[in-house]
Chain A
Amino acid sequence: MNTELTERYLRAAIAGLPAATQDDVRTELTALIMDATEARIDQGEEPPAAERAVLTELGDPAILAAEYADRPLHLIGPRYFLVWRRLLKLLLWIVPAVAVVGVAISQALVDAPLGTLIGSPSAWASAPPSTWPSG
């Protein structure tokens, strides 16, 4: 019977895997952990300390789960990193530019000072219809 610590470890290590693989990995890992723990107990370690040492040596179960799932542990890999960075720099000035233009247009339409337009929500609600350009 697995201890609670090992159970929690196993659950974390099989997270994200397809169901059939989960059972397989769980059974395989259980035996590996148990055997390693027993080897340490045979060498004189206390069972809880041995178990903890084995699991610590196995490392972060989330990393193990990612390795089992062949999931890359990064979002943007080397192949697209430069493209992404160029795009980001481009957007960093395009988006504010568009925002400023958008605000300027609405300012011209409502004919109010820029500050009040951005600052007070009521400026949008209470803009008198007569200020809309006619024709």
Chain B
Amino acid sequence: MVWRMSDTFDIHLQELRRGTVVLACLQLLRAPGYGYGLLEDLARHGFVTDANTLYPLLRRLEKQGFLTSEWNTDEARPRKFYRSSAAGEQLADTLTSEWRALTGAIASLTADAPTNEES
């Protein structure tokens, strides 16, 4: 396997994005949502994720108590709908404030960053 510069970039990009999908799910699921629809909503908002990452993630978040689930039997095909629990909404708020703090911190870095002329 040839190691290209873009591969290392991809890894770091993936690391940066990893936590944001959890926050995005918790926010989007303040209203009840269905896995497949959620995948499209996330993509529309710019959160890149695969089905095989998202579906187990939703289960894990439910197991941790941040989501509740309900079977929708309106149609012949039962579908599992998820929704953020109270704890989930609290976590979403906490993660969002942390995100804002980090955004400010990074902005301050680029503001103070030494330019080439100063070195």
Residues of A within 8 A of B (CB): 24-25, 27-32, 34-36, 57-59, 63-64, 67-68, 70
Contact = CB atoms under 8 A, between A and B. Distances in A.
A28 B50 contact: no
Contacts of B53: 67
Contact of A58 (B51, B59, B60, B79): B51
Interface residues of B, number: 15
Nearest to B60: A70
Interface of B: 35-36, 50-53, 55-56, 59-60, 71, 77-80
- Chain A interface, DSSP helix/strand/loop, else mixed: helix
A9 B94 CA distance: 38
Which of A32, A34, A63 has the most CB atoms of chain B within a 10 A radius of its CB? A32
A70 B53 CA distance: 12
14 contacts: A27-B78, A28-B35, A28-B55, A28-B79, A29-B55, A31-B36, A31-B80, A32-B51, A36-B36, A57-B51, A58-B52, A59-B50, A59-B52, A63-B52
B78 A67 contact: no
Contacts of B52: 57-59, 63-64, 67
